[in-house]
Amino acid sequence: MGKEARAAMTRLTYYRRIQLSFLLFIIFPILAVSVISYTLLKQNMIEKFQISNNSMLNVIVGEIDRTIDDVTFASHYIVNDSELRASLNLFADTSRLNTYTDYTRFIRIKDSFSLITSKPLNNSIHMYLVNRANFILSPDSENLAAINSKLAPLLKNVNASKPVVLQYLGLLHDNADDDGTYYLARVIGDGGGKPYTAVLLVGIEGSYFEKLLERVEFGQITLFDGTGKRIAGSPDVRLQSSDSSDSVYRNQLTLDKTDWKLAYETSEDSLFGQISRAFYIGIGLVLVFTLVFSVISLLFARKLHNPIQKLQRVARQFALGNRDMRLEVKGRDDIAELGHSFNQMLDEIEVLITNIEQEQEQKRVMELEALFMQIRPHFLINTLNSIKCSLILSKDQVHSGIVDSLMNLLRAYLKVNTPSSLEEECRLLGYYVDIMKVRSEMPLSIEARIEPELKSFVVPKLVLQPIVENAIVHGLDEKDELHIVVHAYREQGRIYIAIEDDGGGMEEEQLVWLNRQLNASSDLELDPDAEDYAPYERVGLRNVIQRLKLTYGSAEMKLIANAAGGITVILSIPIPSPIPSGKEVSHV
């Protein structure tokens, strides 16, 4: 007994398969999706970070470039203003305002200089004009003392032989605690060994750059000058980083207006540390919940297993022939609902088995009746053949031809389930028209226009006769003669067969209704109230479209009025691949 219990425990039962499938098809996909999502999220964040970082750096670079443009504008204006340069030439060697003339020149230069320096809107930029006698002119008199102490080292670095370009003099600090001021200079003069007139000194406070770089809230950014010295930003960022690790993201730009460089760095941990921690916590929670679910599912699976075992036993008994076997259903849960559905299914299967047995019996009876019905047509054909021989002996060619046409049609009716070629179908239509010509005593004629490659196209036997019959029956109501044309052609991947008559035609309302009835997808779509047109839905035309759909899978029939006053019936059939050949069918 202990061995059987152990075997039952180790056997892969239904509920154990449920648990295993849960682990394989739910947990693993969750883990895979989590890893893929984390990877895609990381890549997406890197791309967005790079785009955002580039945009941020471009904004900072643009701000600095605009500042340099303002300074460049001021220097160009002074150099190109002839009146101001003339005043500077006269004031070049003035060290003190000793005379009224010196004072008026000073005021004229200061007013012009104030107008020029009013364009830069940044309060962190200060401009000074220094003549050859080191006399300083500034719109802001408060900073004269500060620039006076720095004038000697600044002018020492100015190259008087380069009056065309802005010269970068470097960073000077007032004390160890301040951010310092970065100075630029422009020599005003003609060059070529001639003494300069004045020097334009531009001071940009280091705090301006610090405030500009404070916009970066994520990572570290530093601005370097052309010599590689740090102007502002984090001291931990180097101009040429030796860290080639993938864990550090770095971007470096060179300003277009100067040779300054802007370097940005951030670590991978600062970018993805929080996301990675959330990812690992999520994976851990998934594993914990999986373990808890597995324990709980063991308890519920045992309760689910008993009714499923009963269901299996009932199904086995029913399969062995015990059709009265049914499942005992208790409760109102999903298993009880399944039991009701299972019992209902067994009832329906029993009914189907009974119906199949009855259909088999009816089929045997119908086969016997079909064999009996074939005896009478053969008797009629033999009789008609005797009449035909008598008419030929009596030299009655007209009636012998009619009898021959009737015999051919009877042979076709005997083999109606055998397909024929389109050319043979038109020949049978000719026999039918010959018979109807004698029967109606009216002039009837039929003409076949079939493209050569479609003559051997296979169609169901006698499929076109109901259409020709309708044309004769309804087309001769108001006409004394009738001409019918059968035209078969290929167009846009389909085969079209058009049966055209020059009869009395049909009203537009009746045509619309008839087209809708013939192309209805089921009998439920038919119009039961249209009693005037009811014969059309019970005879030939619907039989034609149904036979074509059964043969080719899809087909369409459309009735339209033609120019001759009659009706044209157009059959549309998809082209089979390859097109069936008439050589493969039996001819009558």
Categorize the per-residue pLDDT at 206 as very low, low, confident or very high, splitting at 50, 70 and 90.
confident
Query: How far apart (Å, rounded) are the C-alpha atoms in residues 294 and 19?
Result: 7
- Say how many C-beta atoms besides its own lie within 10 A of residue 520's C-beta: 15
Between 83 and 5, whose confidence is greater?
A: 83
| Tokens (6 digits) for 319 | 């399969």
pLDDT at 434 (0 to 100): 83
When pLDDT is averaged across residues 533-550 and rounded to a whole number, the result is 69
Tokens 């226009």, residue located: 449
pLDDT at 499 (0 to 100): 93
Residue 441 has pLDDT above 80, yes or no: no
Between 492 and 417, whose confidence is greater?
A: 492
Q: Are 213 and 179 in contact (CB under 8 A)?
A: no
- Beta strand segments in 10-116, E: none
Average pLDDT of the chain to the nearest whole number: 76
Q: Is the peptide bond before 235 cis (omega within 30 degrees of 0)?
A: no
321-369 residue pLDDT tens: 777 777 777 777 777 777 788 788 888 888 888 888 787 877 776 665 5
Categorize the per-residue pLDDT at 523 as very low, low, confident or very high, splitting at 50, 70 and 90.
very low
Categorize the per-residue pLDDT at 383 as very low, low, confident or very high, splitting at 50, 70 and 90.
low
Residue 225 has pLDDT above 80, yes or no: no
Query: How far apart (Å, rounded) are the C-alpha atoms in residues 454 and 457?
Result: 5
Flag the least confident range among 62-76, 114-128, 304-318, 370-384: 370-384
Q: Are 219 and 266 in contact (CB under 8 A)?
A: yes
Query: How far apart (Å, rounded) are the C-alpha atoms in residues 547 and 499?
Result: 17
Flag the least confident range among 233-242, 491-500, 566-575: 233-242
pLDDT at 321 (0 to 100): 74
Query: What is the β-pairing status of strands 167-172 and 556-561?
Result: unpaired
Range of 131-135, 237-241, 440-444, 568-572 with top mean pLDDT: 568-572
Residue 14 has pLDDT above 60, yes or no: no
247-280 residue pLDDT tens: 567 778 888 767 788 888 877 666 666 667 777 7
Between 388 and 548, whose confidence is greater?
A: 548
Residue 38 has pLDDT above 70, yes or no: yes
Q: Are 220 and 266 in contact (CB under 8 A)?
A: yes
Residue 73 has pLDDT above 60, yes or no: yes
Residue 146 has pLDDT above 60, yes or no: yes
Residue 217 has pLDDT above 80, yes or no: no
Could you give the percent of the chain with pLDDT greater than 90? 7
Residue 59's nearest CA partner among 212, 182, 261 is 212
Residue 497 has pLDDT above 90, yes or no: yes
Residue 490 has pLDDT above 80, yes or no: yes
- Say how many C-beta atoms besides its own lie within 10 A of residue 163's C-beta: 20
When pLDDT is averaged across residues 277-290 and rounded to a whole number, the result is 76
Residue 372 has pLDDT above 60, yes or no: no
| Tokens (6 digits) for 528 | 């039961």
Name 1's Cβ contacts closer than 8 Å, sequence gap at least 6: none
pLDDT at 143 (0 to 100): 64
Residue 503 has pLDDT above 60, yes or no: yes
pLDDT at 560 (0 to 100): 92
543-561 residue pLDDT tens: 888 888 888 888 899 999 9
Residue 142 has pLDDT above 50, yes or no: yes
Tell me the three state secondary structure of residue 102: helix
SS3 content of the chain, % helix, strand, coil (to 5): 55, 15, 30
Name 584's Cβ contacts closer than 8 Å, sequence gap at least 6: 458
Residue 404 has pLDDT above 80, yes or no: no
Q: Are 495 and 576 in contact (CB under 8 A)?
A: no
pLDDT at 531 (0 to 100): 46
Residue 212 has pLDDT above 90, yes or no: no
When pLDDT is averaged across residues 289-311 and rounded to a whole number, the result is 71
pLDDT at 223 (0 to 100): 83
* pTM to 2 decimal places: 0.41
Could you give the percent of the chain with pLDDT greater than 70? 74
